[in-house]
Amino acid sequence: MSYVKIWVHLVFATKNREYHLPIELGHAIHEHIISNCIKKEIFLQAIGGSVDHVHCLISLGKDQAIAQVVQSIKGESSFWINKNHILSYKFSWQDDYFAVSVSESLVGIVMKYIKNQEEHHRFRSFPEEAAEFISKYGFKLIHDE
């Protein structure tokens, strides 16, 4: 039997970071993502977000790759939003995402951070948060031509 615990903090945004996810809609989408993760055996420990993005804390299974999991979460949720006419226009997530590993010793702190997103974003925007992630984790920002 294999034992695997690889924690990943995943962040993805709405297309063009547009404010598509008011609180009540965001909660419904989060609940749907939780349900989808259960069906697809994606271990989602925490989910939260704001009007233009979502944070997830997941643990990858032994046969899961981050790209596969992200595609499953983003693809299925945007399909569900559009199929059920949750919005009056076609919805999509931005192609890009952040994914960073999380030490077991920091899981509780990351969970609290994710659960507190609504309050957190009263004081700072997602672009400010994204810039901090890029700096903190040493990501190189590559601009498309």
Number of domains in the chain: 1
| 145 falls within a domain | no
| 1 falls within a domain | no
The domain that contains 84 carries what CATH number? 3.30.70.1290
pLDDT at 62: 92
The model carries a pTM of: 0.83
Using one digit for the tens of pLDDT, what is the confidence trace for 12-36? 999 987 877 777 788 899 999 999 9
| 142 falls within a domain | no
Q: Which domain holds residue 55?
A: 6-136
Q: What is the separation, in whole angstroms, between the first and last Cα of the chain?
A: 47
Q: How far is CA 75 from CA 42, 70, 124, in A?
A: 14, 8, 27
Using one digit for the tens of pLDDT, what is the confidence trace for 44-79? 999 998 888 899 999 999 999 999 999 999 999 999
Give kind and range of the element (H or E) at residue 30.
helix 23-39
